[in-house]
Structures are given as structure tokens and as C-alpha cells.
Amino acid sequence: MRRVQIGLVKPGDKLAKPIFQDNGSVLLGEGVELNERFINRLHTLGIDVIYIEDGLTEDLVPDETLSDETRRHAADVIYKTMNSFKEQSPIKGRAIAPDLGRTFRNVFGEIMTELSTRPNVLVNLTSIHTTDGYLFQHAVNVAVLAGVMGIAKGYNRNQLEELGVGALMFDIGMTRVPKELLNKSGKLTPEERAIVENHTKDGFDILRKYHDISIVSAHCALQHHERYDGTGYPRGLKRDEIHMYAQIVAIADVYDALTSPRPHRKRYTPSEAIEFLFAAGNTYFDFDLIKLFCRHISIYPVSTTLLLSSGQIGVVSVNSELALHRPRIRIIREADGKEPATPYDLELKDELHLTIVKEI
């Protein structure tokens, strides 16, 4: 299979991976043949890339960080929980979801079970979802990224659980933000920005009322927009004044937000997002924490389609932990536009005259 931009998809192409709705249920399943109506509908739903079947790359399968089943369950729990908070008065507090802490410990436990069985912890987030599902799928991705960071830092089970619950629920304050502001494509007014920024305090106020949710988990909601140099909100904290869990969640939040399509901009590629994080070292985020994070991110995930400086087009077939920026490439188009007579791979770490121009 290969990952391609929606503008390059043609009628007759078949989906190689499912596309999810906001609650984690499948919108279009694997194997569906796309027609013009489907393609236009995907455009409307804000989907900019998909995975398609391809004879030259049929043996290439992305190394899933999280199974579709676990992702669907986690997204569904987040979807139902957040909607229950949207629909009920804030003053009801714990009556809305009395077992919130236990519910999300179980969800994160399922995520950790899968992460702990992986031979290497190199994150590849491959799920495709509608823009309406961003808030829920984003929480799942942030929890996965935070879990990987917790493992890398050697956290014990209790620490991982506290971090994981905080990561799953860090944006629960968004349930207090009007939908029209969440989906606004233009610039927010100062008054609108103040409403949106208040979601950090709202989230903390929600979570701190639950006796089975650690106060440090609640601080992931309160502090995930604080910045290392003190320019964040709501309190302008800096450096070690920001809890480590919140620092981890903040990096995961920004990375996944950058690599997801949003109403006001196109998605960044993983390599572009990593460049942004490195540029933010010791300003927005602790540089040592960024370096740790980036050691566990697949810059060019398997099945990504790339244009090379030679004019050739290839699909990533293998990643090497020793050279994440120089993967093995399956050539599917030569510089003259023709398919190779026989598919072949190039090791970019050995082909030093070749560079990656862009993802396509």
C-alpha cells in the first residue's frame, strides 16, 4: 500500500486502510473502491491523505503503533465522555461521569499493553479520520506519544498511569468552548481567544473534582499550553515550574496538531513538524525533552510517497533507527515518468547523492 495526497487519488483506486468518523467508527472500510463521489466527499470532510492499494507496493504495510480495534475503543470512550460534558451543566460535576478515573485508566492500560509488546518504540501514527473526529483522535494520539515518552524516561507503572490519564483528558476543557470557535477558519478576535484559552483552567476544574484522578494528571489540562520560556498560558510558568507530565503532553499535543489537517491550514509532514520542534528548543519546550521525543518518531513512515532529487518517485519500505532521515525507498516511477520494469529498493543512507525533495 502507499500513502498519497487526496488530490492524486483517481476513481477506481481502492482504500488500503479504513477512514474513521468522530467516534472511532469506520466511515469507509479497507478495500472500498473509490469513485468521484467518494473522493469529493472525502475532500469535504477535510481528509487530505489516504492509503491506497498498489501492485508495486502491496507488500509494504506501515508498522502500526496502535491497532484499529484499540484506537476505535479509545476514541469511542473519549467521544462519549466529552459529549456528556458538552450536554450537561458544569455544576453537575462528578455526577456526569462518576467513574471517569477508572474508565480512562482502563483505556490507557489497553494502549500501554500494545506499546509494551512492540520490539522498538518508533511511533507511526497512520489513522485517517474526518476533521469532526480531530478532538477525539487527537487525544488518542497524544496518549500514545506521551506513553512512548514515559517508557523512554523509565517511568514506573503508577507514573505511566498518571501521565496516560492526563494525556487522554488534557483537552477536556474544550467541551466548554463553543463549536463555532473550535472550527473557525479565520483569525480569532481577542475576546474569542480568551474564551478558547480558558479551556486549560476549565479542564483542570473538571478533573480535580474526581477523587480517583491524580492532581498531577489534572495539571496536564492546566499546564499543556505553558511554555519553557514563560510565554505560555494561563500562568506564564517557565522551565521546571511546569510539571514534567504537562511538558510531555505539550510536545505530543503540538506534534500531533501540526501533523493533522485543521480548518485554518494544511497538515505538516512528520519531518516538517520535527523541524518545528527542534527550532522551538529551549523556547517553547525543553530541548533535551524534544531530542528524546524525536528519537521515537518515524520521520518518513513506511508507505509514504516521496519525490527524490533525481526526479524519481518512491515509497518508503523500511526505516532504520540509525538513520531515520534516510529510509529505504521502493522506486515506483523513474525520472522519465515510467514504471520500472521490476520494482527495486534504494538505501538512501548509501545513496548520498540523492536527497528527499518532498512528500507527495
**Residue 49: enclosing H or E segment and its boundaries?**
strand 49-52
Sign of CA dihedral 102, 160, 71, 256: positive
Q: What is the pLDDT of residue 26?
A: 87
> Given this model, what pLDDT does residue 91 score?
53
Q: Which residues have a Cβ under 8 Å from the Cβ of 30 and sit 6 or more positions away?
A: 15, 16, 17, 18
Do 24 and 133 touch, CB atoms closer than 8 A?
A: yes
Q: What is the DSSP string of 293-322?
A: HHTTB-SS-TTBEEEETTS-EEEEEE--TT
- Paired residues of 33 in beta bridges: 14
pLDDT bucket at 165, cuts 50 / 70 / 90 = very high
Residue 51 confidence (pLDDT) above 80: yes
Whether 95 shows a pLDDT value over 80: the answer reads no
Banded model confidence at residue 78, pLDDT cuts 50, 70, 90: very high
pLDDT grade for 281, boundaries at 50, 70 and 90: very high
d(CA 360, CA 358): 6
Confidence of residue 93 (pLDDT cuts 50, 70, 90): low
Of the pLDDT bands very low, low, confident and very high (cuts 50, 70, 90), residue 188 is confident
Predicted local confidence at residue 140, as pLDDT:
94
Number of neighbours of residue 140 by Cβ within 10 angstroms: 28
In the beta sheet, which residues pair with residue 315?
305, 330
Mean pLDDT of the chain: 90
pLDDT band with cut points at 50, 70 and 90 for residue 121? low
pLDDT at 230: 97
Q: Is 23 left (phi over 0), alpha (psi -120 to 50) or beta?
A: alpha
Mean pLDDT over residues 305-317, rounded? Answer: 95
In Å, how far from its chain's centre is CA 312? Answer: 29
Q: What pLDDT is stored for residue 10 in this prediction?
A: 94
Out of 4-8, 21-25, 192-196, 220-224, pick the least confident: 21-25
pLDDT number for residue 94: 54
What percentage of the chain carries pLDDT values higher than 90? 64
Confidence band, pLDDT 50/70/90 cuts, at residue 129:
confident
Residue 265 pLDDT greater than 90, yes or no: no
At residue 285, does pLDDT exceed 80? yes
- pLDDT, tens only, 211-231: 999 999 999 999 999 999 999
- Contact call for residues 338 and 36 (beta carbons, < 8 A): no
